[in-house]
Amino acid sequence: MSLDPVLVMKGQDPMPNTCPPASNGDSKASWEDSKDIHENTAATKKPKSGPVRRARKVEGGIFFPKPENAVTIAVSSRVLFRTEKEQIVFEQQGIEEYLRYQVEHENEPFAPGPAFPFVKALETVNTRLRELYPESEELFDIVLVTYNHAHVGVRLINTINYHNLFIERFCMTGGTSPIGYLKAWHTNLYLSADTEKVQEALAEGIAAATMFMSDKQIEVSETQLRVAFDGDAVLFSDESERIFKAHGLDKFFEHERENENTLLDHGPLKSFLELLGKLQKKFYAKGHRLDCPIRTYLVTARSAASSGIRALKTLRAWGLETDEALFLAGAPKGPMLEKIRPHIYFDDQMFHVEGAAEMGAIAAHVPYGIAQKYPHKKSTNTSK
């Protein structure tokens, strides 16, 4: 299975990665034209019926946490929803027809995308947290990020209400980069279909990953958020991976044995695991360790005896833990992920992301480290 970020996500969001004013409605002329479109069509459209949006339970609680207190998850509309029809209109007929189409269909909700189950699981955790800590602002806070103009916002809001999502914060950039806004939101994780923007976020120290749409998707838990991480170049730095790429597997094992008691440096997703662990401890403190609605996994191609001990000692020294650790010694990750059924799995190698997708698991690519320069080949073993 090939998961090219352009081909696979084609149809997700009609705005291309780079949006010149002449093609994305950012110019004054096209914006005023689209205003006329809205005025001529909005009054004639009646909303379609959908699920009734349930009221928020906020007795004594806070449901708009300050960004600096919350675990802020920024999700692109390209991965939260699917917009294949809109993509075709944009590509074949241009921006003005695209905007007209969006207004004419603004009461028709988009279908769920690959990040949708993850977002729903975050809301499940929030519900449990509010029950135990009604006044706490330590919650997941979701920000919808899109290259679209605010003109398309009505349809996005209608879609969010239709699917009963609790997303109140929007960032609609009109074709410009969202990275500056992500920093202002104190973003802890950014999920997008745009690898370049994900790389920009990583360079700014924001945990980020590229998500893909797969034809097959297994069912995931509706009561427990499950997040799985690769080790090297995800939770840890790519130090050991560099040894493997340069000198082979034997030198990698030798290096790990010699440095067994030397901590690995942190990787781009370490901070997110840290935040998950912090929320888990809030449940543990109330006696909910066994039924905690957050469960974390380390899924690594490292072997336990030869190189796994360094990874475990590093996590322990950081004061972190994963609920489960799978050391696969080079075995395929897909079958294990099919059993775990994570809401999201993070890996720095597309080879493993593709393998997960083949099994229907939801996977995200972290474009970080030496593996981006030397992609994994099926005929080659891997250290991580």
Which are the contacts of 99, defined by CB distance < 8 A and separation ≥ 6?
25, 34, 37, 149, 151, 152
The whole-angstrom separation of Cα 273 and Cα 250 is: 30
Which are the contacts of 269, defined by CB distance < 8 A and separation ≥ 6?
207, 209, 229, 234, 235, 346, 366
Catalytic residue among 13, 26, 141, 230: 230
Secondary structure class of 304 (helix, strand, coil): helix
Beta-carbon count within 10 A of 342 CB: 28
Question: In which element (H, E) is residue 228 found?
Answer: strand 225-229
The whole-angstrom separation of Cα 320 and Cα 312 is: 9
The whole-angstrom separation of Cα 348 and Cα 356 is: 13
User: Does the active-site annotation cover 230?
Assistant: yes
The whole-angstrom separation of Cα 42 and Cα 155 is: 11
Could you say which DSSP state residue 43 is in?
G
Catalytic residues: 230
